[in-house]
Amino acid sequence: MLKNIPNENSAQGGSTSGGKFYITTPIYYANAKPHIGHAYTTVACDVLARFHKLQGEEVFLLTGTDEHGLKIQKKAEEAGIEPQKFVDEIAVNFENIWKNLDVKYDKFIRTTDENHKKVVQKVLQTLFDKGAIYKGEYEGLYCVDCEQFKNENELVDGKCSDHNKVPEMTNEECYLLKMKDKQIELIEKIKNDEFKIAPERYKNEILSFLEGQDLKDISISRKNVKWGIELPFDKTHTTYVWVDAFMNYLTGVGWDGNEENIPEKWPADVHLIGKDILRVHATIWPIMLLQLGIKFPKLLFTHGHILSDGKKMSKTIGNVIKIEEMIEKFGVDGTRYLLLSAGTFGEDVDVTMERLTEKYNAYLANGIGNLVSRVIKLGSEVEYKMNSVSIIPDFAKLIYSIEMGRALEYIWDKIREDNKYIEDNKPWELAKNNHEKFEEVMKKLLGDLDLISKLIVPFMPETSEKIKKALETKEAEPLFQRIK
């Protein structure tokens, strides 16, 4: 077990109390099956949750599906089925893929859950009673695929940059959440890290946005969308999907909607999100919390997109990498490793199946697989007792900083060093003519393998167990076979 690691990076989201650690994925929009981007975020959250659990913390990992809104209503109509049945099928797909990727979440929340809907209505009523929500009308460019209103300066050639579609000009009666009256307060709280956004580039991006214009009060309801939660004070309106979705972070840990009954798990230690939903998470969500008088999450950590050959994945250009295909080809732990070692976590990363295959062979088959095979075979006669190795502080800092790629590189540096150490010392020759030196070399290698098996636990739990078993039985099954 990895244990007794001082947290020297609590500013990045690590728990300083040694007590609880609450981490969330976004809840994924239930308009289509899960894709590689969903897997990237969720596996990263699972790694962080597993690591903190190993430190003896009480960990809670929340994930789920966002199931209301116009896009889902339209998708269900196209499929010729009721929206509830449509989202039921999608939710099962998400639950299955997380099981297949060995993600150990603590709760899978759905925004169609009855308790969630009741709390959302209670919160909306509270905000309405406080005067933070008022009736008006909203005119703006609305992207159905994003379920977001867009400013002109967000468009590229007049189109939504994420979906390459021209937004619809919408003018309708709605209820609005007051935003502008909390803008200065929000800016100050982001600047002083009371609401911490990382990496720094995303903090600067949001501050530039907030300081460059007055926030408009945001529509929190739609009158022409049936598939949503009815406003408690006006049943001709349903709740705008983002307001509904954000509340999952509180309802998912049991909040009943009463401001005096905030769950002990709150605030979240980490909200982990993709950069496409940064702006709404850094404006609408914290302003809702300010209006309600509820603490901010400790850290909003944002990562980049997964690109393929420098381009956004698209069925049209045929560069989509399906997560199911990755699992079938590389196995569960291989897929987890390849996702999180793809580049600097926080930046865009670029992958192709060809490069993933090359990396699998070089780092997994020839790297850790080869090391385990050689050390267990050469050290089968050497007495070695596994011990409770404390994790290395430098490695722990990388995890606490959510530097996934660098943490894996730290482990693979050790693997490369050990493979080189074997070549330099040639233990198979020492076994014939210098048994004392042979024992010294092999005990070092066995000890390193023991440490490696512990370091990879959060990333590759099944592989870790196989290495531990090999050390105990002195028999090594092949971990990663080379593939074409």
Class of residue 160 by CB neighbours under 10 A (exposed 0-12, middle 13-18, buried 19+): buried
Share of the chain above pLDDT 70, in %: 92
- Identify any residues that bridge with 349 across adjacent strands, giving them in sequence order: 306
pLDDT in tens, 393-407: 999 999 999 999 999
Q: What is the pLDDT of residue 5?
A: 42
pLDDT score of 163 more than 70? no
Q: Strand locations in 122-186, DSSP E?
A: 133-143, 148-150, 155-156, 159-160, 168-177
Q: How far apart are CA 484 and CA 462, in angstroms?
A: 23
Per DSSP, the three-state class of 271 is strand
Q: Strand locations in 46-132, DSSP E?
A: 58-66, 107-110
Domains of the chain: 10-303 (3.40.50.620), 353-473 (1.10.730.10)
Cis previous bond, 26, omega within 30 = no
* pTM to 2 decimal places: 0.91
* Size (the chain), residues: 484
Class of residue 53 by CB neighbours under 10 A (exposed 0-12, middle 13-18, buried 19+): middle
pLDDT score of 149 more than 70? no
Residue with more model confidence, 204 or 160: 204
Per DSSP, the three-state class of 196 is strand
Q: What is the pLDDT of residue 17?
A: 45
Type and span of the H or E element at 46: helix 36-54
Q: What pLDDT band is residue 390 in, cutting at 50, 70 and 90?
A: low
Arithmetic mean of pLDDT, 144-173: 72
pLDDT score of 7 more than 60? no
What single-letter DSSP state applies at residue 266? P
Q: How far apart are CA 311 and CA 125, in angstroms?
A: 44
pLDDT score of 436 more than 60? yes
Measured CA to CA in angstroms, residue 104 lies from 43, 65, 100, 225, 235 at distances of 9, 16, 10, 35, 38
Q: What is the pLDDT of residue 23?
A: 98
Q: What angle do CA 478, 479, 481 make, to 5 degrees?
A: 75
Catalytic residue list: 35, 38, 143, 146, 160, 163, 312, 315
pLDDT in tens, 246-299: 999 999 999 999 989 999 999 999 999 999 999 999 999 999 999 999 999 999
